[in-house]
C-alpha cells in the first residue's frame, strides 16, 4: 500500500497502518468498509487472515468472495447461514419438481382423452380427376 493512498477497509477499521504487503488490501478496498466490517464481526480479522494465508494467491479472491457471502448469510441467519439458504432452495426445487410432474401427468391425461384424428392426405387435382374417371368405368 502506498503512503499516499488510503488504508484498506481492514486497516482502517482496526486502526492499523496499512503496509504494502497487507493481506487484506487487494480484497477489502477503502471505498467498501461495510464488506470487511461484516466479515470481521462474524469471523474476526485474525481468522480471516489465517484462512487467506492457507490458500494460494490465485485462490484468495474466490476465498474472500465465499467468506463475504457466508458472513452476510450469517448476519441474516446466525444459526444456519448458507446452509439455511441451500436447504430453502433445495426445498423449492423439490416443490417445483413435484408441480412439474403433476403438470406432465395432466398433459398426458388430457392427451389420452382426445380422440385421435384420422390421418388424411391432401389430394391433388390430378388425383381427383383420376378417381372420377376410375369410378365411371
User: Which one, of 82, 17, 94, 24, lies nearest residue 52 by Cα?
Assistant: 24
Q: Where are the domains of the chain?
A: 1-76, 79-111
User: Which one, of 60, 85, 63, 64, lies nearest residue 75 by Cα?
Assistant: 85
Whether pLDDT at 125 is above 80: no
Alpha-carbon gap, residue 119 to 32, rounded angstroms: 69
Tell me the residue ranges of DSSP E strands in the chain. Answer: none
Residue pLDDT, tens place only, 68-122: 999 999 999 999 999 999 999 999 999 999 999 999 999 998 888 877 666 666 6
pLDDT, average across residues 27-40: 95
Contacts of 60 (CB under 8 A, 6+ apart): 26, 27, 52
Distance of CA 7 to the CA centre of its chain: 33
Question: Strand, helix or coil at 29?
Answer: coil
Q: Which three cell numbers stand for residue 22?
A: 497487507
Question: Strand, helix or coil at 16?
Answer: coil
Amino acid at each position: 500500500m502506498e503512503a499516499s493512498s488510503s488504508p484498506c477497509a481492514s486497516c482502517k477499521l482496526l486502526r492499523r497502518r496499512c503496509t504494502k504487503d497487507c493481506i487484506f488490501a487487494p480484497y477489502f478496498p477503502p471505498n467498501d468498509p461495510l464488506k470487511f466490517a461484516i466479515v470481521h464481526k462474524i469471523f474476526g480479522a485474525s481468522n480471516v487472515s489465517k484462512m487467506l494465508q492457507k490458500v494460494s494467491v490465485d485462490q484468495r479472491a474466490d476465498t474472500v468472495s465465499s467468506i463475504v457471502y457466508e458472513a452476510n448469510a450469517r448476519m441474516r441467519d446466525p444459526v444456519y447461514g448458507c446452509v439455511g439458504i441451500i436447504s430453502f432452495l433445495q426445498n423449492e426445487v423439490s416443490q417445483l419438481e413435484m408441480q412439474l410432474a403433476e403438470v406432465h401427468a395432466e398433459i398426458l391425461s388430457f392427451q389420452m382423452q382426445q380422440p385421435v384424428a384420422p390421418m388424411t392426405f391432401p389430394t391433388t387435382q390430378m388425383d381427383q380427376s383420376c378417381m372420377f374417371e376410375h369410378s365411371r368405368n
